[in-house]
Every structure is written in C-alpha cells, then in structure tokens.
Amino acid sequence: MNRLSVLLSTCMAASAALFSAPAFAATPPHFAIQGDQFLLDGKPYVIRSGEMHYPRIPRADWRDRLRKARAMGLNTITTYAFWNVSEPEPGKFDFSGNNDIAAFVRTAQEEGLNVIVRPGPFVCAEWEFGGFPAWLLRTPGLRARSYDPRFLAASAAWFKRLGQELAPLLSTRGGPILMMQVENEYGYVGNDRDYMEAIRKQMIDAGFDVPLFMSNGPGPTWMSRGALPGLVSVINFTGDAKKTERAFLRSAPMMQDMPKMAGEYWSGWYDRWSEPHKTRSTEEVTGAVGWMLDRGISFNLYMIDGGTNFGWMNGANNDDAKYLPVTTSYDYDSPIDEAGRLTPKYTALRKVIQAHLPKSERLPEPPTSSPTMAIPRFELHEAVSLLDALPSLSKPQTSLVPHGMEAFGQNYGLILYRKRLDADTKGTLDVSDVHDYATVLADGRPLGTLDRVKQEHAMPVDLPAGSTLDLLVENMGRINIGPGMEDDNKGITSAVQVDGMDLTGWTVYPLPLDDLSGLVFKADATPNDPAFWRGSFTIAHVAGTFLDMRGWHKGNVWINGHHLGRFWNIGPQQTLYVPASWLRKGRNDVVVLEMQPGGSHAIAGLKDPVFGTATQ
C-alpha cells in the first residue's frame, strides 16, 4: 500500500472509530486516490481530460470551447495557471478579464466538467519564459526554477495569491478542481529534490489541499529525477497505440500502486518560425486514446483547443544552442481548431470515446462549428515612421553601455539603442548578443538585419562622423524550457563594438508598444524604415477571420486595439487569427508595424488559415 492509500485509510479508520453510529459514518471525499484508482464519490473514475489555456482563448469564447470539449466526451479540463500574465510586475496581481482563472474554472464546472490545474511555477507550454514573469531577470544572478531563495520567495507569493482565487473551487470545498500538479516535467532538466519539495510545500501552504501529482517524460530516467515520494506520477508522450503501450511499459516500475495516466498525450504539435507546419494524424491519436480507454487508463489530450499566442506571449526553444521562436498560432492541430471549428479529429475522437462510455452516460450533441468569414482586400493608406513616433512611444534613458530591456524596467516588445558617432566609423559592427532580431539603421536608413535565429551578430559598416546609429531590437519570445532559459535577457545583452572597440554612450528607448494612441498617422506617407501602417474595413456581421499577411515582411498587428501577435514571411504561419469577439459591426481599425520597407500594404480576411514556408 502506498503512502497515499495509507493516509486515506488512516483518516477513514479514525473517523469510523470516533463516530461508530451509522448516522455519523465518514463521508468519502468527493475525489480521492486509492491504490491504482482515481475515485469520484467513492466510485472508480477514469479521467478523460483535454488541455485548454484561458489566456490563449478570448474570454467571450471560453464557454463555447468548453461546451465543445464536453460534447466530444471529455469529463475534465486541464489548464496551467500562468504566473506572468497574473503578476506582470512584482506584487501587482491582475486576475481580471482574460486572466480570470477562477471564472474559467467556474465556467468549466457549469458546463459539466471537472478541472485539473497546473500552477507551475514553471509551465513550459511554448509560452513566454515558460510562464515565469520577465521581471525575475531584473535581478542579476537570480536563477529561476531553482532553490535560489530569491526565486522561492517570489514563487511563494505567487502561490499564496493564486490560492485566494482558487481555494473556493477545490473539490475539498465543493468545487470542480480535482488535482493540482507540482512543477512540470522537471526530470528533463534537473533532479534537485530540495527544490521540488520546496514547491510542494509552497502549494500546501497556499491551501491547495487536493491530491497533488507530478508529470515527466516516460521511463525511469526522467521519472526518477522529476518525482517525489507519495505523489502520483503521470507521463507525457505521443505516438500510436503501440508507442503508447511502450510508454506505459517503460514507466511501470515508477507507477506501481498508483493510477495510470497520460498527463499529456500530445494530440498534435506546435510550429516554430521557418520550419514546416506540424500535424499529427487522426488515426494515430484515436488509436492511442482507444488503447488507453480499453485499459481504463486516464488521459489528458494536450491540446483539445490550442488557441493563439496573442501579443508577445509566444515562447522559444533552444535546440542545440539554436534559438527557435514559436509562432503566434498555437493551433496545435487540435480537435477544436484555433477558430473554434470542429475538425475530423474531433469527430473521430468523439466516436472512440462514445464507444467506451459507461451505459449510464450520454454525450450532449456537439455545438456547431464557429463560423469564419472572408473580408475583401483593403488598403492601409496612412503611415508613420517608428523613428518619427519615438516621442509618443517612449521616454529615453541613457546608458554607458547597452543592457537588456529588463534593466530598463521593460518586459516585452522592442527596444531602440541610439548612438551619435563622434568619429568616422568603418569596420565590422559586432553586436553581442542580439536577443533577438535587430534592424540596423544609420540616419534612419536601413543597413540590414541581425537575426538570432540565423546566429547573426555582425555586419560591415562605413559611417561618417555625426551619423546616428540605431539598433532596433525585437524580443521574439523568451526561451520556455532548457538551457539558456535562465538568462535569456532581451535586447542587446553585452556590448556593441566596431573592429573590437566598444561603442559607449547610448540613448535607449524602451518600446513596449502597449499604447499606440499617441501615433500621428499621415495619409499616403511612404516611410522607408520600420513604420506603423493604418487602415480599416467595414463589415455587416461579425465572425472570426484570418488576416492574410502574404506580401508583408515581418512585424505585428493590432485590430481595434487588440494585439493579435506577430507575422513573418518566412512562415510557416502566413495568416493571423482574429476572434469574432474582437470585431464589431461597421468600421474596424487595423494597425500594422512593418519592420522592413517595400512590399504590400493591403490585407484581406480569409475563411481558413494559410501555412507554408519559403521552401514549400
């Protein structure tokens, strides 16, 4: 008997001894773990879960997506709790609007779904900095995801505040939250048990008194490094039925006398800029889910609805020291697509789940797919140069040498480093390090770009004295897992040199671009440097759409004040999803920040997304 069963049995025995009369018999907990089974109201319970992330779906669409998940046959929704969206500055918490995780959980309950919450503090999720707030990087030497006391003090405050939101929603208090996860896939990167124990204790101290569990890759290597005694261990993997069987066989020694569960079965995959679009076959996914249901194994489909990395919130990978940012779309080839439409994968999974339902359970009919619409091509006739707009966008600061944006109190966006050259400057301009995409300009004239994806950091220059050198650097998303994550500061992180000599005395313009209301556009302007372009379109009814950005180069899009995210012509993503709830009948305003001159200044809305790279 494992530790969990011992604790449960001890509690029940004590209750029975104290109250021997039937009227005072101990009431079993709503959700419990006993031996190799999950129990719901004392009866064996197979968790059929799907992952859905509240910041990736507009709040107006939560109920629709949750209702669709329930109709597919799921009985549970799993979500991370995203620290960086809820504590954007130290001690300043925001659980309003799309950050309202408690409202998301309540909506799931109203739609007949239980909930599993994974509160981190690390979430990975191909999300900016793995869910950590960027302000952690303002403290030199602080090591996120470690036993560093400065980090643990910050994570404890996060859990404590999150507990105030979620405590009434725990199953121990009549709510839908059945379980919570400690950390996330820690076995991939470390084996510091003091750190893992500290996180577990912080969660308990925050009032999370539901069963806790841990997730790791399959097999004894990852599980032994990333698990704690007394906690259920679940495994994260993908593949067909045969690979699913192998994953559980490999993990069996670490899953004895506990329920078997796929904490993440990857039902699709995500995209990274410049790589081919990723999908996973319906046959593979349904075969694996059928295999698990045949054996009463619980699962969580990652993802049931991937959603979108709106704004600046995409993460990045660091594969073999190569930086690879994730796209704005997080469609993930999910059963419910980015626009809320039901896919063939959804229909096939519903059929498999339906065939395994208890006789007493009936699935609701699926809602209709969310509609999308085409929008005729429209021109963006008004523009303003980013350099001309600097006074309305930023307050300059001075610095002897360049520093990352975190040193200037900035978390996301772009940052401009300006230097007036005191002497003729000829040689190799070397920027170390470029995090992540730099546009180099002299007197407002583009000289070229330095792209971290391509590991570029140097270019030749020949500039006369008195020239103004501008280095405009975009944060393309912080690394969300693995080496390099702990010090992925953004902007210019070290030095700027020409032929080995440092350039000093910089004026720095932080550009978070969280307020564009001060921009002054001019009709028929033709800037030849990074610039904002503005246009509008009119619609008679509202539905989701995909803005076709083919013909543009690289940049960001805002619609009616909502930051849709990034576009980049290298693909694979060529369109940007616009939720229906962000549109309005009548006029809709679009602002595009285009980093390169030339190209198209027109956009159309499409019914379907477009994926493709320059080589496809």
Taking each helix axis from N to C end, the angle separating 62-72 and 344-355, rounded to the nearest 10 degrees, works out to 50
- Looking at residue 587, its amino acid is R
Same structural domain for residues 187 and 259? yes
Same structural domain for residues 112 and 208? yes
The contacts of residue 81 (CB under 8 Å, 6+ apart) are 101, 117, 118, 119, 120, 123, 162, 166
Same structural domain for residues 91 and 140? yes
d(CA 424, CA 105): 62
Same structural domain for residues 546 and 446? no
d(CA 203, CA 118): 11
Same structural domain for residues 3 and 130? no
Same structural domain for residues 118 and 168? yes
71: left (phi over 0), alpha (psi -120 to 50) or beta: alpha
Does residue 185 have an active-site annotation? yes
Same structural domain for residues 569 and 434? no
pLDDT of residue 614: 65
Taking each helix axis from N to C end, the angle separating 149-166 and 193-205, rounded to the nearest 10 degrees, works out to 30
Given 447, 482, 511, the domain boundary residue is 511
Choose the catalytic residue: 87, 185, 406, 594: 185
Residue 361 lies in a domain: no
Residue 166 lies in a domain: yes
Residue 124 lies in a domain: yes
Choose the catalytic residue: 126, 264, 338, 486: 264
Strand, coil or helix: 533: strand
pLDDT of residue 178: 98
What's the number of domains the chain is made of? 4
Q: What is the pTM of this model?
A: 0.94
Which domain range does residue 24 map to? 1-42
304-283-70 Cα angle (round to 5): 30
Same structural domain for residues 422 and 465? yes
- C-alpha torsion 288→301→35→106, nearest 10: -150
Same structural domain for residues 29 and 167? no
**Residue given tokens 């309540």 in the structure block:** 106
d(CA 99, CA 116): 17
Residue 347 lies in a domain: yes
Would you say 65 and 335 are in contact if contact means Cβ atoms under 8 Å apart?
no
Q: Which domain CATH number covers 112?
A: 3.20.20.80
Residue 288 lies in a domain: yes
Given 495, 511, 527, the domain boundary residue is 511
pLDDT of residue 616: 54
pLDDT of residue 13: 35
Q: Which domain CATH number covers 585?
A: 2.60.120.260
pLDDT of residue 27: 79
What parts of the chain have a pLDDT lower than 50?
Answer: 1-25
> 447: burial class by Cβ within 10 Å (0-12, 13-18, 19+)?
middle
Would you say 107 and 68 are in contact if contact means Cβ atoms under 8 Å apart?
no
Same structural domain for residues 261 and 306? yes
Does residue 365 have an active-site annotation? no
Strand, coil or helix: 173: helix
pLDDT of residue 25: 45
Residue 342 lies in a domain: yes
CA distances from 204 to 86, 194, 396, 552 (A): 20, 15, 45, 50
Neighbours of 49 (CB within 10 A): 28
pLDDT of residue 374: 98
Nearest of 555, 601, 607 to residue 580 by alpha carbon: 607
Same structural domain for residues 152 and 57? yes
599: left (phi over 0), alpha (psi -120 to 50) or beta: left
Would you say 544 and 578 are in contact if contact means Cβ atoms under 8 Å apart?
yes
Residue 546 lies in a domain: yes
Residue 284 lies in a domain: yes
pLDDT of residue 613: 81
Helical H segments across 185-305, by residue range: 193-205, 220-225, 241-251, 282-294
Q: What pairs with residue 413 in β-bridges?
A: none
Same structural domain for residues 599 and 571? yes
